[in-house]
Chain A
Amino acid sequence: MSINALTQTWYMTQRQLTAVLRQPAYVVMMLIQPAIWLFLFGNLFKEVVELGGFGTTSYLDYLVPGIVVMSALSSNMWAGMGTLEEIERGTLNRFLTTPVGRGALMNANVVQQALTTAVQSLLIILLGKLGGADYPGGAAGLLVLVVAASLLGTVFGAFSNALGMLVRQRESIIGINTFLLLPLTFLSSAFMAPSQMPGWMRTIADYNPLNWAMVAGRSAMSDNPDWSVVLTRSGALLALAVTAVWLSIRTFRAYQRSV
């Protein structure tokens, strides 16, 4: 049974990955956007490191984890659109009348999103390196950043899927995403060191999952990682991801009742 479930998950993941690769426009956008952010913000805020509190003398070093996490958010929060399209096209119903496990259908979404996010993160890290960023924490630090970004992507991907299945309206997804993207990004340490933020903003950032991923990544990537910070933030992200996936599986059942 579990072997079977794994094989099925793999078949369904393969299908989704193929679909991603066959939409070159999507792949290109996924890379161009972070590149633009890196370039724009990297130049715009170049001098802010002199204010102190960034833990580095190169703003690009500080910016890369921020862009990685921000991109993980912005590419996963649209997952619900794909789910909605599959519902409208009848693809989801087709699979639901086959013996494929319901878990496999949902897990395929999660695995595909996590893999895509990991690849996207690695490419941004590479772009940063080409731009002259330095990663003193080495491979372990980068791994933490990629895992944290993928977990964050899973959280928002699962929420987006749940939203797509519940409201079944593109407008709602677009509305909620545009509402969330910028506040979530700017109420985090993506561009500015926490010590330079107003106190109230720092407090909010402490509760922002985006910030957890950035803090965990940055700490692990520094030359002197604070592993307790890394573990608590990653643990919180993992817990949130599990909750979000569980929730999306619940809405999956709600969807079936409404068919």
Chain B
Amino acid sequence: MSTRAPAVQARQLIKTYPGEVTALSGMDLTVEAGTVFGLLGPNGAGKSTTVKILTTLARPDSGTATVAGHDVLRHPDRVRRAIGVVAQKSGADPVATGRENLQLQGRLYGLKGAALRRRVDELLARFHLTDAAGRQVKGYSGGMQRRLDVALGLVHRPEVLFLDEPTTGLDPEARTAMWDEIARLAGDEGLTILLTTHYLEEADRLAGHIAIVDRGRVVVEGTPDALKGELRGDAVHVELRHPVGEAGRTLLTGALTALPGVYEALLDGRRISVRAEDGAAAVPALLAALERAGVAVSAATVARPSLDDVYLRYAGRRYGEAEAAAAVSAGGSDDLALTGGTR
């Protein structure tokens, strides 16, 4: 099974947008054929730019990439035939009907006649759009539009399917439905899916392999379980009543990591994240140490490590924090500005 060549391979991709916005700063990526690969990171981390380069929309300043065995720079046409793209923004023609959108998309890949009609009917049925097939897309709900987008990406039975933030902007119900749909796609014979998301839960749930992206490069990758497993022990989160100043910070984390069974302590704002061999056993000692340091605690929780912890560990900041930073620095790059705007 893994004897096939990688479906996607990117080496040292660098891309800077006008106005000095560095979108990619050395992106390396290998996606094995037939897998679901999740590119996880906050808005502005470089996920969309990576997808744009891999789908031949944008050109990197330097670096190389192949998709389905074809070089994206030298043979963009071959790449385009091999891929299906579901971009962040719908892209379906609002005044055309669902069926017309699918028919045109199929024709662009050379499908015609009965084969085209069959394929379109099949996709409409599969994505529960048969009843709405004759209606203009502008009347579709968000979930219906998104399903149509995925159907558009699949018309020509691509080898590699790119799903860029497939559930952003969907209500919880539509999101769950989309997750089920993607999970079913993953079962399709030989289809490779590259999925980008800024939802930790989504990556955890759908992807067999995850790469965490921060500031334009991959900071760590592996299976969700392996990534979580690498964080030995449990996570203990302590909420403080007041933020700790810069000076007290090093002192406090130093005191905490000195405790037996505590591997690591990270403090940001009013929140302390501790990794400990046995979370429950560490809590009394932690609280005592904090009390000695004169720091008031408002809550403490013990949890199995989550992807959020993985992110914190490798990107050096909390997920929400990175998202907020991205929202502030948004602008210049289309990528940043638009994702910032949809939040």
- Do A11 and B107 touch across chains, with their CB atoms under 8 A apart? yes
A98 to B110, CA, bound (A): 11
A11 to B17, CA, bound (A): 33
Residue total for A at the interface (Cβ-Cβ under 8 A): 23
A259 to B88, CA, bound (A): 13
Residues on B with beta carbons closer than 8 Å to the beta carbon of A88? 89
A93 to B59, CA, bound (A): 14
Q: Which of A90, A95, A99 contacts B90 (CB 8 A)?
A: A90
Residues on A with beta carbons closer than 8 Å to the beta carbon of B197? none
| Interface contact tally, CB-CB below 8 A | 72
A23 to B85, CA, bound (A): 28
| Chain B contact residues, majority secondary structure | loop
Segment from A14-22, A120-128, A156-164 that makes contact with B:
A14-22
- Do B80 and A15 touch across chains, with their CB atoms under 8 A apart? no
A18 to B93, CA, bound (A): 11
A15 to B104, CA, bound (A): 8
Known interface pairs A8-B108, A18-B95. Does A89 touch B89 (Cβ–Cβ under 8 Å)? yes
Segment from B49-57, B186-194, B209-217, B253-261 that makes contact with A:
B49-57
For residue B334, CB closer than 8 A to chain A, the reply is yes
Residues on B with beta carbons closer than 8 Å to the beta carbon of A98? 80, 105, 108-109
Interface extent on B, as a size class? 20 to 34
Residues on B with beta carbons closer than 8 Å to the beta carbon of A90? 87-91
Q: Which of A18, A89, A91, A97 contacts B56 (CB 8 A)?
A: A97
- Do B57 and A19 touch across chains, with their CB atoms under 8 A apart? no
- Do A19 and B95 touch across chains, with their CB atoms under 8 A apart? yes
Known interface pairs A11-B104, A258-B18. Does A91 touch B93 (Cβ–Cβ under 8 Å)? yes
CB distance from A170 to the nearest CB of B (A): 16
B287-343 contacts to A, CB under 8 A, are 334
For residue A231, CB closer than 8 A to chain B, the reply is no
- Do A99 and B109 touch across chains, with their CB atoms under 8 A apart? yes
A117 to B57, CA, bound (A): 32
CB distance from B343 to the nearest CB of A (A): 17
Residues on A with beta carbons closer than 8 Å to the beta carbon of B90? 89-90
Please give me the residue from chain B that is nearest to A104 by CB atom.
B108
A22 to B100, CA, bound (A): 13
B199-227 contacts to A, CB under 8 A, are none
The listed residue with most B CB atoms (<10 A of its CB), out of A19, A22, A98, is A98
Known interface pairs A93-B57, A96-B57. Does A22 touch B95 (Cβ–Cβ under 8 Å)? yes
For residue A256, CB closer than 8 A to chain B, the reply is yes
Q: Which 5 A-B pairs have the closest CB atoms?
A: A90-B89, A94-B91, A90-B91, A97-B85, A98-B108
Please give 20 more A-B residue pairs, beta carbons under 8 A apart, in addition to A15-B96, A94-B91, A99-B81. A11-B104, A18-B100, A19-B93, A22-B136, A89-B94, A91-B93, A93-B57, A93-B89, A93-B91, A97-B55, A97-B56, A98-B105, A99-B77, A99-B80, A99-B110, A256-B57, A256-B59, A257-B59, A258-B334, A259-B58
12 A-B Cβ contacts within 8 A?
A18-B100, A22-B136, A88-B89, A91-B91, A94-B87, A94-B92, A96-B56, A97-B83, A97-B87, A98-B109, A99-B109, A259-B52
